[in-house]
Chains A and B, each alone.
Chain A
Amino acid sequence: MKRTIKLHVNGEEFEVLTEENKTLLEVLREDLGLTGTKRGCDLGACGACTVLIDGGPHLSCLTLAAAVQGKKIMTIEGLAQEGELHSIQKAFVEKGAIQCGFCTPGMILTAKAFLDEHSHPSEREVKKAISGNLCRCTGYVKIVEAIISVTKNS
């Protein structure tokens, strides 16, 4: 049985006709065409589906779309402002922290939420913060370097 829900995504209001049991991940990707948020496992174990809800990182594959009406949702598509990349996005590109790119959106959003709360984390703290985001390509080395570099520059 479908119903209308109102979602606030990347600064815009969307009205979506969808089933009660659809996850936020499904609605973002299939109804709103925002495919930047990825499905890696659908179980909440890999972090590829990470989005920001009211500034905090959440696993959209474990979030019911209907349950987050009225909240401010940010996906990777909403991070760059007016064509200008966020400092974390720039750092990832500059430091070679991207390989296949599949974990990248979730990884960047997790990093953003973390850095919004911690201005001078240690390497250890950064690793702990992103330990819920799996990456198979990079071995995490350049990802951690990229995140640390943002704190050095700010």
Chain B
Amino acid sequence: MREYEIIGKSLPRVDGIEKVTGQAKFTVDMAMLGMLHGKFLRSAYPHARILSINVEKAKRLSGVKAVITRDDVAGIRYAFVDTPRYPADETPLAVDKVRYIGDEVAAVAAIDLDTAEEAIRLIEVDYKPLTPVFDPEEAMKTGAPDVHEPFELGAKTEWEDWGVRRDKRALDWRDAKNLSGRTSVAFGDVEKGFAQSDYVREDRFETKATAHCALEPHAALASFEPSGKLNMYLSSMGIFYKRFILAKTLGLPISQVRILKTYVGGAFGGKIDLFPYEFCAAFLSRLTGKPVRFEMEREEVFTCTRQRHPTIVHIKTGVKRDGTILAQKIKFIADNGAYRGSGAIVVYLGHAFSIPVYSVPNYHYEGYSVYTNNPIRGPQRAHGSPQIRFAVDSQIEMIAEELGLDPLEIMLKNARKKDDILPNGDVLKSCGLSECLQKAAQTSGWKKWRGDRVKRTQERESASRYKRGLGMSSCSMFSGAPFYPFASSALVKLHDDGSVTLFTGATEMGQGSDTTMAQVAAQELGLQLEDVRVVSGDTELCPIDHGQFLSGGAFVTGNAVRLAAADAKSQLLKLAVEVLGVDEPDLETKKKRFYVRGNSDKSVSYAELIQLSVQRNNGDPIIGKGNMKAVQEAEFYPSLAKTKGHFTDAYGFAVQVAEVEVDTQTGLVKVLKTVTYHDCGFPLNLSIVEGQVHGNVSMGLGQALWEEILLEGGQIQNPTFLDYRAPLATETPKMISEMVETRDPGGPYGAKEVGEGSISGILAAVANAVYDAIGIRFTRLPITPEKVLEALWKK
């Protein structure tokens, strides 16, 4: 397969030196003269009506510049999902009720944090506690308390702003209480499929809420120019989406809102929703005439930002004796928390991220996202995929066990292939799933390990203290989807000396977009990486960008950048052809010069061509422009309710194997090794792509073994890094991470997603490995030592 000079190579990051010297500025590092500090008064009740709020004492405290409550922000509603069917249910500050512990009730801007904190203590709120509900299955029953009362559909929803018409019929869809989202999809005939199956089994799986744990806390710094223009520093992903929603809620024209670049200290999906602190920073800045900064304390980040949806998955699968899947029925319940967040999306993705993996002829999926008085759940890396893949592939192993088959054989038998058409019409123009399965099996020594079933059973039953096991799982992930702003655009500006500046709206949050996009531009223009400067992450200086929450960095933005560079190159070529008197195919580039093939004396530099262009073409300095829409044929995101409509142009695939050692005396599950084969199409920068896989695997292991937000009565018991067990360096297993290059025809140089794909296969891989080691099936994560010991003692 073709190799390139720049693209694909493990070149050092362009922001590396800034970051190792502490020069890189994050939002939390930004300060402005006269800046005020913001703080929230938060609800201590999971569910209560607000009878009255008295801020007089707080307002009078010396150093307090403003105190705002529901009266100041009346009528403002917003949400990540805001459609006619799912209208925005969040307000910057609580209006009639508080719905979770931490819900924002009032906000203060003061000269320093100590004063702000004291002011918060002086605010008096009279609450009438209401009966809360914390269990999603309880919340769906008749008689459960209403977390939200129905409200009149008021102003235009975001979806309508983007062109979707309001359909009155869609409003009446609730078939249970407290539903915040509902997805239904079926094809074929599941009952017939089950009837024809040789073996049918039904299982229930449970996953818990987990935290993103981005090291940089959520923060925002807002200030206004005298003209009324808002400038914001945000630790955020998807700055164009944020700009849109800030403009809408603040009543400003979009062009009057600017988000400036800062590096983002990790996000993992946890920084895309509009947060009260972002809105209030801007609102308070406008009110006081001073810059206002909010920085969440770590406890607030754990409690009052977002978490991953805990899920309950009921899955019934029917197979033929040889392991061919005939029918599958899934009920996916997500505990949404107090506000919709991304609930309506995750119940769609529980289907959409799983359906590309195995071919299932008869299928029925029902998704429910449910309001409870728990903290708010939102997108977190792979959003729904870890939870559903945990259920599906744990069950595949259980089926394999019953039928005396190798789960690898079942996975291979049912794995989708290139050119498969998914139920929604998406075509798998590239699919390396089978190759990943075979290679993962080979590298992990799967067949040798699992081949001797008698030996495996003996080892499982033996009296030895440490027992080892191997488990496997596969997963899939999209590469961009039609959501505002629906496309990425890029500009490439040439300088006198032939080097370039690349303008891309993509936000560098660790995933390496500045570097990989520079590599794409350099490769296309025949430059070295040092010849490319990147201006990114600024809504004023850069053209629109798809955003970093839809896994479209490589596919959508990468294509836009490639096209922009190609545009610049074609303009240079036109002139080179004239100057050198040959045709385009006779030219090649090297070191910012065009050379005639086979005649190295005949050449012209980019610098000379640019000079010529300025002189000859009325001052044209040569600027390249490129754009790429995520999913050309689709105007909007697919139907969340019915799953109809194109979703993405390319899917990445990953297969993962985990090797564990269970200490039967302590219950500790030690991960010795993980093997990941990821079909990312083509790795734009191999080192960066490997880094993404490592981070994904680490987070996946956390989901499987260590991480859980412990909730009791809506109160988080472990909102600190001391009690919330994010993976430590000492828990890092040996990670083998290999890429399978299927070179997707639509991706730049064949590249597809890699930022989210390889977390989802780890959960079932670990659960299956634990089963292989000790013969105990865990259907509820995380697999803690307590759970292991309890199960071993029961045996």
Question: Is A45 part of the binding interface, using a Cβ–Cβ cutoff of 8 Å?
Answer: yes
Question: Given A101-B24, A136-B726, A140-B729, A48 and B215 touching (CB < 8 A)?
Answer: yes
Shortest C-beta distance, B738 to chain A (Å), equals 14
Contacts of A79 in B (CB 8 A): 21
| Prevailing SS type, chain A contact patch | loop
Residue from A41, A136, A140 having most chain B Cβ neighbours under 10 A: A136
- Which of A93, A126, A140 touches B17 (beta carbons < 8 Å)? A93
Residue from A41, A75, A105, A139 having most chain B Cβ neighbours under 10 A: A139
- Docked complex: B481-527 residues within 8 A CB-CB of A: 509-512
| 1/0 contact string of A69-92 vs chain B (CB within 8 Å) | 000000111011000010001001
Question: Is A133 part of the binding interface, using a Cβ–Cβ cutoff of 8 Å?
Answer: yes
Closest A residue, CB atoms, query B702: A136
Do residues B697 and A93 form an inter-chain contact, with CB atoms below 8 A?
no
Bound CA span A139–B682, Å: 22
Bound CA span A94–B20, Å: 11
Shortest C-beta distance, A42 to chain B (Å), equals 6
Shortest C-beta distance, B267 to chain A (Å), equals 8
- Which of B66-74, B395-403, B601-609, B686-694 binds A? B686-694
Contacts of A105 in B (CB 8 A): 20, 22
Do residues B694 and A136 form an inter-chain contact, with CB atoms below 8 A?
no
Interface size on B, residues (CB 8 A): 55
Do residues B694 and A101 form an inter-chain contact, with CB atoms below 8 A?
no
Do residues B721 and A100 form an inter-chain contact, with CB atoms below 8 A?
no
- Which of B19, B721, B729 touches A101 (beta carbons < 8 Å)? B19
- Which of A35, A39, A96, A134 touches B728 (beta carbons < 8 Å)? A134
Bound CA span A103–B511, Å: 14
- Which of B17, B690, B726 touches A134 (beta carbons < 8 Å)? B726
Closest A residue, CB atoms, query B15: A101
Do residues B265 and A34 form an inter-chain contact, with CB atoms below 8 A?
no
Question: Given A39-B28, A46-B721, A134-B215, A100 and B510 touching (CB < 8 A)?
Answer: yes
Do residues A93 and B215 form an inter-chain contact, with CB atoms below 8 A?
no
Shortest C-beta distance, A75 to chain B (Å), equals 7
Closest B residue, CB atoms, query A80: B21
Interface size on A, residues (CB 8 A): 53
Question: Is B217 part of the binding interface, using a Cβ–Cβ cutoff of 8 Å?
Answer: yes
Do residues A137 and B691 form an inter-chain contact, with CB atoms below 8 A?
yes
Question: Is B444 part of the binding interface, using a Cβ–Cβ cutoff of 8 Å?
Answer: no
Contacts of A98 in B (CB 8 A): 13, 15-16, 19-20
Do residues A100 and B735 form an inter-chain contact, with CB atoms below 8 A?
no
Question: Is A37 part of the binding interface, using a Cβ–Cβ cutoff of 8 Å?
Answer: yes
Contacts of B265 in A (CB 8 A): 38, 100-102
- Docked complex: A90-143 residues within 8 A CB-CB of B: 92-96, 98-105, 108, 126-128, 130-131, 133-143
Bound CA span A48–B265, Å: 11
Do residues B694 and A138 form an inter-chain contact, with CB atoms below 8 A?
yes
Shortest C-beta distance, A110 to chain B (Å), equals 10
Closest A residue, CB atoms, query B297: A42
Question: Is A36 part of the binding interface, using a Cβ–Cβ cutoff of 8 Å?
Answer: yes
Do residues B735 and A75 form an inter-chain contact, with CB atoms below 8 A?
no
Bound CA span A110–B608, Å: 50
- Which of A36, A46, A96 touches B215 (beta carbons < 8 Å)? A46
Question: Is A68 part of the binding interface, using a Cβ–Cβ cutoff of 8 Å?
Answer: no
Closest A residue, CB atoms, query B515: A96
- Which of A34, A43, A93 touches B13 (beta carbons < 8 Å)? A93
Question: Is B266 part of the binding interface, using a Cβ–Cβ cutoff of 8 Å?
Answer: yes
List chain A positions with a Cβ less than 8 A from chain B.
29-30, 34-43, 45-46, 48, 75-77, 79-80, 85, 89, 92-96, 98-105, 108, 126-128, 130-131, 133-144
13 further interface pairs, Cβ-Cβ under 8 Å (given A100-B263, A126-B729, A136-B266)? A46-B298, A93-B12, A93-B17, A98-B19, A98-B20, A99-B266, A101-B510, A127-B730, A134-B213, A134-B726, A136-B726, A140-B727, A142-B690
